[in-house]
Every structure is written in structure tokens, then in C-alpha cells.
Amino acid sequence: MSGSPSSSSAEVPTDLEARAIATARILTMDAVQKAGNGHPGTAMALAPVAHHLFQHVMVHDPNDPHWIGRDRFILSLGHSSLTLYLQLFLCGYGLEMDDIKQLRQWGSLTPGHPEWQHTAGVETTTGPLGQGIGNGVGMALAARHERYLLDPTATNSIFDHRIWVLASDGDIEEGVSAEASSFAGRQELGLLNVIYDDNQITIDGPSSLSLSEDVAGRYLAYGWHVQTVDRAANGDVDLPAFAAACEAATLETAKPSLIVLKTTIAWPAPSAQNTSASHGSALGADEIAATKVVLGFDPEQHFAIDDDVLTHTRQAMVRGAQIHNEWNQARAEWETAHPEQAALLARLESGELPANWSASLPTFEIGTQVATRKASGAVINALAGQLPELWGGSADLGESNNTHIKGADHSMPATPAGANIAFGIREHAMGSIMNGIALHGRSKVFGGTFLVFSDYMRPAVRLAGLMGLPVTYVWTHDSIGVGEDGPTHQPIEHLAALRAIPNLNVIRPADANETAAAWQLALTSESTPTALILTRQDVPVLDRSGATTTNDASDPLTKGAYTISPADNPELILMATGSEVTLALQAQEALKKQGVAASVVSMPCVEIFREQPQAYRDEVLPPSVRARVSIEAGITPPWREFVGDGGRSIGIDHYGASANGSTLYREFGITVEAVVEQALAARDQN
């Protein structure tokens, strides 16, 4: 079902098709000129490429942008957004000429860079270069996984579809693309096709200023199928040669494909072509008029399109409806032959989890000692059998992160439905691949590494928050409790830095049972990524039976913060996260012996706590109790929000050292004695 919708893909374009390509170039210039800014040059050069893909190569249905049988198109060079927007307009995805005229304007459907869930037909938010390649790798991995999960014995399956990525010099130069491309080669992702726009121009000048390697040779070394297509004699895209390369890439199923496509930026603008200036600036009225003359258009007309051109390009809607209908018929036959898999697909499409799935969450005995990373691993393994959509791995730290699903295969070419992903030591690519898996849909994906290395993932994490992708990060070794590995491996500023990312729930559970509740929250999240911040060291499983929350049946962790150990008429509030909750409880007992009443608040997720009604927040942190102490093994300034002017914060505002964890906590003053001292000082101050 993944074949091309046209059998004439290698033919020279008709006059009408040539007019459609020229129209895309004209509209590019006009739109950027009207906006006053934008990126015209690349969109002009790539107009034939995008036209050929959307009209002749890709299986897609503009009437239903969410059809699961479609090919995916990723514009990794998101700055060239008109390359995509114009095809969405021409094919009939819902954009109209007024939307093209509103490029980069407030409230428009055509923002400066493509945004997922904002514009129909946009498969991922792109702009930070290299991320689109990583997303494409994730989509290809997810497509293969889903295909063999649902239809493992078919030679040709309705779930076979291709991922097409259009990339630039900048994408190729970014390190994340190298990580992801290496991974794709090892995985033999034959449904992945990357087109590299090799125009030899960057903002600062010729790409030779910063890029000299043999990119084709590098991708051959990765294990890719590589083709190079030179320019036509006039400097334009050699469309017949490109069409033949697309056909060859489509026939290749054992390796990912790279097409190195030589282009001329801003072709055929007489003065602007092959210049750095055309990358990110409007061409100007005179150059636009001259280019329109070259292309046979009236230089006095703006945003012009012939009716027969639009009628021709919108035949994509007719073809899409036809192939979609054929696919639906094939799906009906598949459902009859595979009722169990069909029921699974129906559930996955609905987004629902199995009934009573949470009953399988493990519970941990109060008083036992369990590292929260180990508790997380127990949760993953308890749920894996019930949730075939749950899969993931780590950046070569499975044994340390406890992310390995026991008894399951690795997702590899020989075992494509395997639930364990060997991302390798590629944290950044892991983040962007996870985003691609989530974007593909119908998966609950997780990825792990040490918390300190979340820095390597941050651009992909930010994009997950921006897009609202419900991925789960398993970040372990969460503090100076890492111990002897020393300051390079001890996170200090990381919790605060991650909490600064909008739409990311950062959860640092106090014990094993909070960890299970955190996983439940992560797996039911629909539009927010979740970061699980977990200990290397054992921590006691706490008695939470006396916790005060609202009267619903949910775990108190779901409120973001709760009073885990209340006191009558408290003089003080001790608030903590993670392993430091135990420290707060010990300090509470020490204060009690001195006749001082203190309540202890566990605050595993400040983001969720902020979302609670003011009445609940005042219940947990009564405004009348100004004597407050926060305890967290990280930087202290952000805690001012909760401790207020009358409170104190215990943490670590400098780098760590190499010693065992208990020594470091003692030497850096994160102790019961320090908590008691600061608590009494806060009480006396207020």
C-alpha cells in the first residue's frame, strides 16, 4: 500500500506542471515581500522538489491529514516554511491564498516556522536545525514497530508507509542529525528518505567556510543508500534525475536513503540567485519583477495563480481520496483476518489505556529501602505486558536507569516489534527520536539517561514541551547522591533549568510509591511531557497514610504537593522533594523533641502544584505560616517562590565533589541538623 500514486514520476513535467512550479516560486517571492521578512531563496529553489513529492511520490490525502496510512513529510529546514505551506495550499489541505498573504503575521496559519497542530498537514514543529532529521528517524522507527506489532506476517502491509525529510546544510552540520543518522543506519530504517538540499550557501557565505567533508561518503559509512543528483545545465533542479532518484529510494527497503540534491538558491532570480542574501531577506520589488519576467509572469501582478493550475494541483485531493478509500477496504479485510490486532489498533487510535491497567502498578512496603530508579524499573516491567504501546530505552545506561523491559526483544531489524530501544550514547538524538515516535502516534515512549546529561537533550525536550508531546524522560542519578563520580556527574542547576521549560512536568518523587504514582501521571498525560527525576541511592518507602489532600481517590502526588506529615497548629513548614523528603521528616521529629510543631510537605512537581486552586495551595502552604524551609539538593534561588521573604532554603549552589553520597550531604550541609537550625532561625525571624 506504500507505492507511488503516479506511475509517471520520472517523466519531464508538462507545461501545466511547469507553470505550477513557477507559480510556487512567484508566490514565495510575493509572500516574503509582503511580510517584509522571511526566507525566499530556498523555497524558490526547492519548488520543483516539493511539487514532485506532493504530486507524484507521496501517498497522502489532503482531505484527511491524520490518516494513519499516509506518508509523512518533514521540512527539517523549517525556515523555508513556504516550501511546505505552498504545497498545502496547492494540494488543498485547507490553506488558501489569504493565508499565504498572511505569512508570519499574528494569528495566521502560516507562522514563520511550521508548527504542529497549528496548520493542517504539518507533521512536526521545525526550525531548530537537525531536529527534523531526528524526528524523521523516530517516525520511521515507530512506523516499523507498529507495522510488525499489528501485521507481522504480511509481505506488503497496509501499515507500510514512508517518511520523507527535506534537509539543508544546516541540518547536516548539526550534531543531532549525525547522531540520529548513525542510529538510523544501524537500524536499517528502509522507509526513511532524506533529501539533502546541497546549495553550498549559508547565511555567512559559501558553505565551504564551515563544511568540507564528503557528506555522501559519511552517509555511506552510516550504512545508508546514497544518491547524488546534480543541477540541470541551467542551474535549476534536474527534475527527471530527481524523480528517478526518488523512485530508486522508494524501491530501497533495507537501508535509509539519502539523496544529495545540488540546487541553486533563489533560482531563477537574475541577481539574487546563488547569494547568501537570498537566504533570509526579501528580494525587493525590482528583483521580484525581473524574476517574474524570466518565469513568464506579469511583473505588475501579485499573488497570481491561474485557475487551471490550481485545478490541476488540487487533483491531489481526488487521488488522495481514491487511494485512501482503497486503503480503507484493505483495512477492513485486515480487520476480519486479524480481530485481536484490530481491537488493539482501535484502542490505540482512541488513546484509551486498557481497563484497570493501573491495578498492575506495584506497591512498595513501608519502611523498606528502594532507590526510586529501581522502583521506576519495577513499574515499567509491571506494565509492559499490558501496554504493548509502552516502549523505550536509554542512552546506553539501561542497567543504571532501569529502563530495560525484561523478556522483550530490542527493536532491531531482525526483531522490529521489540520493546527495548538501544539509542546508544546519543542523548540529543534520543530526545528528537522520542519526539518523532510520539508524533507518529499510538505509542507511550520513554528514554533515560543521567539527570546531568539532560543538558545534551534540552533542545529536543523544549520542542516536546512546545508541541505538547506526552513523552516520558527517565532521568536518574538525580543529585550529589551520585557520589564518587564527582562534579561532572552531579546535577546542581538541572532541576531549576528543567522547571524553567514551559509545559514540562518535572516530577521528583520522594519514594517508590510516589514513583509509581508519577508513572501513572506520565502515562495518562495527553499534551505534556513528563520528566521523572530519580535517585541512584536507596531511600525509605514512606508512610503516607496521614497525608492531607482533597477527598478524591487519586494519589496525593497528582496535586503536585501535599502535606505528607501534618502537625497541629504548625509553627513551621518544611518542604522538600525526592530523597530530601526523608530528611525533612527526620528534622520534623527532631523539632518535635524541642517542642516545635512543623508540618512536612512533599512537593514532587511544582508545575502541577501551581495549577491547583488557590484554596488547595493555601491549605498546603498556609499564608499565616511564614516560617518555611525548603530542602532540595540543587540550587536554592527558585525556592523563594514558595518559602517567601520569611523562609530559608537548604540546597547546593556550587558544584559537587568526589566522595560517597552520605559524605557529600554532610559536608555540604544538607543534614537534619542544618534543617533544624534554619527552621528555628526562620521561626524566630517571623
- Amino acid code (one letter) for 464: A
Residue 548 DSSP code: B
Q: Which three cell numbers stand for residue 68?
A: 494513519
Lowest mean pLDDT among 14-23, 58-67, 196-205, 550-559: 550-559
Contacts of 146 (CB under 8 A, 6+ apart): 159, 440, 442, 443
Contacts of 567 (CB under 8 A, 6+ apart): 588, 592, 597, 598, 599
C-alpha to C-alpha distance for 89 and 83, rounded to whole angstroms: 11
417-456 burial, b at 16+ Cβ within 10 Å, e below that, comes to bbbbbbbbebbbbbbbbbbbbbbbebbbbbbbbbbbbbeb
Taking the mean position of all CA atoms in its chain, how far away is CA 167? Answer: 18
Instruction: For residue 158, give the nearest of 146, 169, 170 by alpha carbon.
Output: 146
Can you give the pLDDT at residue 550?
54
Per-chain mean pLDDT for the chain: 96
CB 236 within 8 A of CB 269: no
For residue range 115-133, what is the model confidence (pLDDT) as tens digits?
999 999 999 999 999 999 9
Q: Which three cell numbers stand for residue 36?
A: 517584509
**Does residue 549 carry a pLDDT above 80?**
no
Can you give the pLDDT at residue 470?
98
C-alpha to C-alpha distance for 54 and 62, rounded to whole angstroms: 10
Spot the catalytic one: 123, 179, 188, 427.
Answer: 427
**Does residue 2 carry a pLDDT above 50?**
no
**Does residue 520 carry a pLDDT above 80?**
yes
Can you give the pLDDT at residue 551?
60
**CA-CA-CA-CA torsion sign (504, 508, 513, 515):** positive
Q: Please, which contacts does 460-463 make with residues 24 or more away whose CB atoms are closer than 8 Å?
A: 460/131, 460/134, 460/176, 460/428, 460/430, 460/431, 460/432, 460/434, 460/435, 461/431, 461/498, 461/501, 461/504, 461/529, 461/531, 462/501, 463/125, 463/128, 463/131, 463/432, 463/435
Contacts of 409 (CB under 8 A, 6+ apart): 415, 417, 418, 419, 420
**Does residue 553 carry a pLDDT above 80?**
no
Q: Which three cell numbers stand for residue 94?
A: 485547507
Q: Cell 555567512 identifies what position?
A: 204
Q: Which three cell numbers stand for residue 643?
A: 518559602
Can you give the pLDDT at residue 548?
79
| Mean pLDDT of all residues in 166-187 | 98
**Where residue 320 falls among pLDDT bands split at 50, 70, 90?**
very high
**Does residue 266 carry a pLDDT above 80?**
yes
> Distances from the Cα of 56 to the Cαs of 6, 8, 13, 47, 52, in angstroms?
5, 8, 11, 14, 5
Instruction: For residue 353, give the nearest of 142, 522, 555 by alpha carbon.
Output: 522
**Where residue 3 falls among pLDDT bands split at 50, 70, 90?**
very low
C-alpha to C-alpha distance for 233 and 229, rounded to whole angstroms: 12
Can you give the pLDDT at residue 522?
98
**Does residue 13 carry a pLDDT above 70?**
no
Lowest mean pLDDT among 3-12, 275-284, 445-454, 571-580: 3-12
**Domains in the chain: ranges and CATH:** 15-322 (3.40.50.970), 357-540 (3.40.50.970), 559-685 (3.40.50.920)
Q: Phi, psi (5° rounding) for residue 207?
A: -65, -20
For residue range 465-477, what is the model confidence (pLDDT) as tens digits?
999 999 999 999 9
**Does residue 7 carry a pLDDT above 90?**
no
**Is residue 467 within a helix (H) or strand (E), and if so which, with residue range?**
helix 454-467
Can you give the pLDDT at residue 552?
67
Q: Which three cell numbers stand for residue 675?
A: 534543617
For residue range 395-443, what is the model confidence (pLDDT) as tens digits?
999 999 999 999 999 999 999 999 999 999 999 999 999 999 999 999 9
In sequence order, what DSSP letters do the residues of 362-381 get, joined into one string? ----TT-EEEHHHHHHHHHH
> Distances from the Cα of 243 to the Cαs of 107, 227, 234, in angstroms?
37, 12, 18
For residue range 577-616, what is the model confidence (pLDDT) as tens digits?
999 999 999 999 999 999 999 999 999 999 999 999 999 9
- Amino acid code (one letter) for 563: T
The whole-model pTM stands at 0.97
DSSP β-ladder status, 225-229 and 598-602: unpaired
Q: Apex CA 606: angle with CA 603 and CA 610, to 5°?
A: 120
427 noted as active-site residue = yes
> Distances from the Cα of 296 to the Cαs of 25, 27, 47, 87, in angstroms?
12, 14, 16, 21
Can you give the pLDDT at residue 14?
77
**Does residue 179 carry a pLDDT above 50?**
yes
C-alpha to C-alpha distance for 549 and 561, rounded to whole angstroms: 9
For residue range 95-105, what is the model confidence (pLDDT) as tens digits?
999 999 999 99
Q: What is the 3-state secondary structure (H, E, C) of 292-317?
A: HHHCCCCCCCCCCCCHHHHHHHCHHH
| Mean pLDDT of all residues in 241-254 | 97
**Where residue 9 falls among pLDDT bands split at 50, 70, 90?**
very low
C-alpha to C-alpha distance for 116 and 137, rounded to whole angstroms: 17
DSSP β-ladder status, 562-565 and 598-602: antiparallel
For residue range 285-305, what is the model confidence (pLDDT) as tens digits?
999 999 999 999 999 999 999
In sequence order, what DSSP letters do the residues of 320-344 get, joined into one string? HHHHHHHHHHHHHHHHHH-HHHHHH
Contacts of 627 (CB under 8 A, 6+ apart): 571, 572, 573, 646, 647, 679, 682, 683, 685, 686
Of residues 10 and 26, more confidently modeled: 26
